[in-house]
Structure 1
């Protein structure tokens, strides 16, 4: 083929091509156009409008293609973008030089590739978007081959490993248990979601959610797997922290509510311990300091804890318990935490928490128990204040015995109990003989000393279940539980003899102190009130007083009905 400067007479074969062009234009499925060298359109098929419109612009890429074909005299193929009335379209244009009767020409054939072009661009953009997303995403995308080797990983890498260090290495080696029977990185079935543990580059462990799908060829042969991993370690940590925060808030709220309702809760210490035990999934005891002892408001129920409490009591003044933070000890294989409660820097109680051997205490548990101990120190202080208030309202301030109101309430309760059990009891009223004379001749302090000595003597010689009270002035009362009249008489004689050892004469020169005693028995029969019982005892006391110092008198047996 010759160049364009050669005359038409030198291109005899082009006549054949021109003839073929005339015959083929109409049958060509795409745009086809025959152009003379002077720019005239010699032939065109029905699809050629898009080419004709493009050639109208002499600066268009199609016009340039025609010129190159005429100049080179050789067929030329080029991809062109043409802006048509229907929009931007893509074509593969074939330009063929041909010989016309009077000049050279160019035959144009076009194949529209707009769809393929758009699909290719979409694929390229999609791939780029996928790469961008992987670059931005915290998730870890991967692909393995049939040997379980990483062939692709996210550009950012994962779990502290750079991408280049992961690629080409067995995926199984990064599992926390690489000897596991199955590796999700080599799955042959779809995994919607599973949780695995990955060994991090720093030696730690990462909790990972994994989704994967197998890679199959057209024959269904397994070639490997690909999937996504998401590191849930931080999320899991945050969830755990939130749950612990809720538990802490609930525990503090419950303990605060118990402290607020102290007046309605007689066993505040054991109830508070039960709340902590439930929150900590453990056994718990709350103790308060009473003098130099640690006491609970109920049975301990555990011999090992009782021994531990005895040890703590002995160590109350030692450095071991002066630490501000909770103490962790081992109790025959069981972990136990001891958190001392402090008020104004002084130990006022202790919180003991015992767990099963398989459960230990972590930093969160210790912090929570430390906060609980701080709050419970106030609870214990309120219990002590409540005890003091109750003592002031129920006890005689001079002797420490029950006061009149508390004694009468107690007796009323026991009379009601008598009616159910049928037991006999007795009431004794005591009065110090010539007590006013003693005070008039000497001093009220001397009288107070005598009252205290008699109160101490009565307490030392009382039984469990008996009640002793100072009713006011120089008068005392005793309720003898399950004691008939004969036993009450024996008790009265013993008291009268014991008072002979109480003298004010060591200081004043007076005679030994003597008392008069009125006795009345209470039987579980209807017909009498508490007031009647007290009146009968008063009458018996008056009779004893008339008999002279140091005597007793027995009143009628009064049926108890209150």
Structure 2
């Protein structure tokens, strides 16, 4: 058949139409596309397919020949994926191989290879999965807890670790008000707020019934019409922080009060005034109705050395005073109508006195701060008691004869006699002074000794 026959014209037209269709598909495809012959040579490629063509020509994409062979054997569309190495990392591509029937004049089947670069999608998906896992891990290991409340005002989600000893199952489907102390005092309540809340402190109940301070932030959930549909947020238990702050604040207050008491003691020279000031300042600083300071006398035991306030001796306290020793601690006693604190004062591991303070029974009970502060005061009073005792010993040594214990000449003639004369004058009474001189008494001293004399 000649080239000019109608049959040849039809074959030529079919080839042209087939080539135009392939060219149209290649040009309109948004990613890399190739037309590959059965012998793996590239018949055509669009602009983005030039790189893929070069790699295929160099034999660096072994998956494409395999997919073409499978598609050619089954004459069905084949799919697969390939990973290519790039300068900025791996490139992930999905491949589709479409067998094309041989057109007029073609002896072999050709194949349309369509690729889709899903590197960005894959990386975004991996980043999303990693981000979700990171968030999940942080939520689970964090001391903070996240939560969500639905439109019914009940918990619909709580961190897996639970809250304040409660498991998520114990909280979900329950109202937040059931776990908040004095929930009616919060307006609005953090968990039910219709506005953004930030760093709000609330007091909640733990699973053991204790109080816990929690700080939290939340934001409301609304539908497209702005209707409140719940809230979600995050909270943190700051009870230990608040307890540390309270302990530090109490320590500072105790330090200030103790400095005030110590100053009142040091500002006095007279031991008697020193203890009286200590009794007054201690009673005022601790909000007590009265204060007694005792000294330990070698013969009489504890004797009252200073007093302040309502001078009512709580009888019940006397029993504890008699039982005090160097190892005793501060004791709280209820002695109608008083609340009493009794504590010993020591000096160099020796009991040398005691402090007793009291207040009305209808006042609040003594808390730990009172015990600590009174113990600190007792340490200072112990020193003051010792100074007072030393002062009396020094005065006694300066006024008496060391052998007889009688007043010496200076104390008798310069202190004692003028004082007694003044009292007699005030009382309008008379008196007599006897002066005895014993002859030869020296013999007694010489024979029997001065101590016997």
Equivalence map 1:180-199=2 (5 Å): 182-199=188-205
1:238 to 229, 240, 244: 244
CA distance in structure 2 between the aligned counterparts of 1:362 and 1:284, rounded to whole angstroms: 18
CA distance in structure 2 between the aligned counterparts of 1:146 and 1:15, rounded to whole angstroms: 67
Deviation of residue 241 (structure 1)? 3.6
Are the structure 2 counterparts of residues 129 and 481 from structure 1 closer, same or farther at C-alpha, using a change threshold of 3 Å? same
Equivalence map 1:199-218=2 (5 Å): 199-218=205-224
2:365 to 352, 360, 383: 360
The aligned residue for residue 35 of structure 1 is 36
Contact preservation (8 Å) 2:150, 2:156 = yes
Deviation of residue 131 (structure 1)? 0.8
CA distance in structure 1 between the aligned counterparts of 2:274 and 2:66, rounded to whole angstroms: 100
Contact preservation (8 Å) 1:140, 1:154 = yes
The aligned residue for residue 90 of structure 2 is 88
Are the structure 2 counterparts of residues 128 and 279 from structure 1 closer, same or farther at C-alpha, using a change threshold of 3 Å? farther
Name structure 2 gaps, 5 residues minimum: 1-13, 440-453
The aligned residue for residue 304 of structure 2 is 295
Deviation of residue 210 (structure 1)? 1.5
CA distance in structure 1 between the aligned counterparts of 2:385 and 2:17, rounded to whole angstroms: 117
Matched, 1:499 2:415: no
Deviation of residue 221 (structure 1)? 3.2
TM-score by length of 1: 0.61
CA distance in structure 1 between the aligned counterparts of 2:201 and 2:321, rounded to whole angstroms: 52
> 3-state DSSP class of the match of 2:153?
coil
Name structure 1 gaps, 5 residues minimum: 1-12, 407-468, 509-562
The aligned residue for residue 45 of structure 1 is 46
1:328 to 324, 328, 332: 332
Larger Rg: 1
The aligned residue for residue 308 of structure 1 is 313
CA distance in structure 2 between the aligned counterparts of 1:324 and 1:54, rounded to whole angstroms: 93
CA distance in structure 2 between the aligned counterparts of 1:264 and 1:102, rounded to whole angstroms: 129
Contact preservation (8 Å) 1:14, 1:98 = no
CA distance in structure 2 between the aligned counterparts of 1:264 and 1:64, rounded to whole angstroms: 111
The aligned residue for residue 73 of structure 1 is 75
Contact preservation (8 Å) 1:140, 1:229 = yes
- When the two chains are superposed, the root-mean-square deviation of aligned CA atoms in Å is 4.4
CA distance in structure 2 between the aligned counterparts of 1:15 and 1:186, rounded to whole angstroms: 73
CA distance in structure 1 between the aligned counterparts of 2:216 and 2:15, rounded to whole angstroms: 67
1:98 to 78, 85, 100: 100
The aligned residue for residue 388 of structure 1 is 393
CA distance in structure 1 between the aligned counterparts of 2:82 and 2:284, rounded to whole angstroms: 79
The aligned residue for residue 470 of structure 1 is 413
Are the structure 2 counterparts of residues 90 and 124 from structure 1 closer, same or farther at C-alpha, using a change threshold of 3 Å? same
